[in-house]
Amino acid sequence: MKYRLLYFASLRDRAGVDSETVESFAADARNLYAELRARHGFAMDADCLRVAINGEFAAWDRALADGDEIVFIPPVSGG
Amino acid sequence: MKYRLLYFASLRDRAGVDSETVESFAADARNLYAELRARHGFAMDADCLRVAINGEFAAWDRALADGDEIVFIPPVSGG
Amino acid sequence: MFRLSDDTIDAATLTRGLAHTRAGACVAFEGWVRDHNDGRRVLRLDYQAYTALAQTQGERILAEAREKFAILDACCVHRVGALAIGDLAVWVGVSAAHRGAAFDACRYIIDAVKSRVPIWKNEHYADGESGWLHP
Amino acid sequence: MFRLSDDTIDAATLTRGLAHTRAGACVAFEGWVRDHNDGRRVLRLDYQAYTALAQTQGERILAEAREKFAILDACCVHRVGALAIGDLAVWVGVSAAHRGAAFDACRYIIDAVKSRVPIWKNEHYADGESGWLHP
C-alpha cells in the first residue's frame, strides 16, 4: 500500500525530507515506523512517539488504509 | 487629646465629611469608635472594621497619642 | 511597583515593564467592571481609596509575592474614581522564569489586594440606587 | 479561537476580543523566549508545527476549558517560525465573570497546549549548536 508520511523536528532532520510517499506492506503504524526507522536511522523508540493518522491522534495498532497520511509525533515542546 | 479622623466609603457618607479633628478622652481606637459611632450613627460594629493609626493597620487597644491620625477601615471591595 | 491611578491603565506598557531576558512566563490578571453584581444591574461605579495605606499595603503585598514565589518582577495598578462597564479596574502582572510561579504569584497578589488594600467600590444600579460594597 | 501565527502576536487586540459585559476577570498567560534553558545560553529559536493537527488539538483544548470552567471566552495564539529572545511565543487569554475560573482555565489551557499540541522548539545555543527539544 501507499502511505504519505510527514516528518517534523528531529525526525525531519534525520529523514532529510519533510514528507515522502512510501510503498509498504506494513499494516499498522507500529510496523511502518519500524520499517522507516531502519531506513532513516531514527533515534527514537516508538514508545517515545505518538502517531497521527489523517490529522488525528490514533492507536499504533490501528489498521492502515491505502493513501493514509501518517505522522510520527515526537514529544512536543511548544509554549 | 486631639485626633485626626479620615472617613471612607459608607462611613464618609454617614459622617457627611471626609475628615475631621476631634477632642476626646478616648485612650484607644475602640473607645474612640464607640464615641464617634454614637455621634454619627455609624451602622457597623467595630468587629466589622479594622483600624489604621498614622497610615498603618494597628490593634484596637493600642494607646493613642495626641495628634494621631485614625482611620476606621470598613471591609474593602477593591479589585 | 504598586500604584493607584485616576487615569486609564495601559496594560501593554505595564507588561513591557516586566520584561527580563530570563523571563519565560508572564501572567496578567485584569479586573473588569461587570454589568451585574449579586443579581442587580450595574451602570457604573466609583472607587475610593485611602491612598497612603493602600500604597504601603500594595507594596507590601508585592514584596511578599517576591519572597514566596520564584518570580522576576511584579506590578499592580488599581484605578480610583469613576469607571464605566468594561473598564479595566485593576491590573496585576508577574514575570518569572517558569509559569507555575507566575500563576501562583499573580493569584496571590490579586487575592491579597482584594482582601487588604483599602479601596472601596460604590456601585450605581439601574434602579437608581447606589451602595458601597462592604463584603 | 486557536491560531498559529508566523507574525508578531498582538496581545492588546486579543485581550479586547475577550471583552464581555458580564466579564469581571481576564487572565492572560504569555510565554516569552528565555535566554537560557537547562543551563545553556540560548540565542534564538525556531518553532515548527504540524499545522492541521495543532489546529484541531488547540480548538479541542479550548472547548474542554469552556466545558470544565465557568468562563465566557478563551483564546490561544502560538507563534511558528524564527523568534528572538524576549519575543512572545504563545498567548493564552481567558475571560470569566469571576477570577477563580479565569485563572484555572488559563492554566489548564497552557498546560494542555504544552503537552498535546504538535509544536516543536529548535533552540540555537551560544556555542553554535542547536537542538530540537523533545522533553
A79 to chain D: which residues are within 8 Å by CB?
A: 31, 78, 89-90, 110, 113-114, 119
Between CA A9 and CA C50 the distance in angstroms is: 56
What is the tens place of the pLDDT at every residue in A18-69? 999 999 999 999 999 999 999 999 999 999 999 999 999 999 999 999 999 9
| The length of chain C, given as a count of residues | 135
Asked whether residue C5 carries a pLDDT value surpassing 80, the answer given is yes
Q: Residue D129 has what pLDDT?
A: 87
pLDDT for C130 beyond 90: no
User: Does the residue B53 lie in any domain?
Assistant: yes
Nearest Cα neighbor of C97 from D38, D102, D128 is D38
Distance from CA of C21 to the nearest CA of B (A): 30
Q: In the prediction, which pLDDT does D135 show? A: 74
Q: Give the model's confidence band at D86: pLDDT under 50 very low, under 70 low, under 90 confident, else very high.
A: very high
For residue A79, tell me if it sits in a domain: no
Number of domains in chain A: 1
Query: Domain residues for B25?
Result: 2-73
**CA–CA gap between residue B51 and residue D24 (Å, rounded):** 29
Number of domains chain D is built from: 1
Tell me whether residue B78 is in a domain. Answer: no
Residues D73-96 have a mean pLDDT of 97
What is the residue-averaged pLDDT of chain C?
A: 95
d(CA B53, nearest CA chain C) in Å: 10
> Quick check: C54 and C119 in contact, CB under 8 A?
yes
pLDDT at D130: 84
* A58: in domain: yes
Where does chain A have alpha helices with state H? 9-15, 29-40
From the list C48, C56, C110, the residue facing B9 with the nearest CB is C48
pLDDT of residue C39: 87
For residue B3, what are the β-bridge partners?
A: B22
The ipTM assigned to this model is 0.93
- Looking at residue D19, its pLDDT comes to 95
Residue B48 counted as domain residue: yes
Could you give the CA distance from residue D75 to residue D30 in angstroms, rounded to a whole number? Answer: 12
User: Domain range holding D126?
Assistant: 2-133
Q: Is residue B68 part of a domain?
A: yes
Tens of pLDDT, residue by residue, chain B (79 residues): 999 999 999 999 999 999 999 999 999 999 999 999 999 999 999 999 999 999 999 999 999 999 999 999 999 999 8
Residues 5-34 of C with CB under 8 A from B: 31
Say what the pLDDT of residue D84 is.
95
Residue A35 covered by a domain: yes
Quickly tell me which residue has 465573570 as its cell. D97
Q: Find the chain B residues whose C-beta atoms sit closer than 8 A to any C-beta of C.
A: 6, 8-10, 12-13, 44, 48, 52, 55-57, 71, 73-79
Instruction: With residue C103 as reference, give the H or E element that holds it.
Output: helix C99-116
CATH number at residue B62: 3.10.20.30
Q: Is C134 exposed, middle or buried (0-12, 13-18, 19+ CB in 10 A)?
A: middle
Q: Which residues of C touch B45 (CB under 8 A)?
A: none
Confidence of residue D72 (pLDDT cuts 50, 70, 90): very high
Record: contact B77-C89, CB cut-off 8 A: no
Q: What is the pLDDT of residues C14-60, one digit of tens each?
A: 999 999 999 999 999 999 999 988 889 999 999 999 999 999 999 99
pLDDT averaged over every residue in chain D: 95
Query: CA B8, CA C6: separation in Å to the nearest integer?
Result: 17
The number of beta carbons lying within 10 Å of the beta carbon of residue C88 is 19
Q: Which residues contact D112 (CB under 8 A, 6 or more apart)?
A: D61, D64
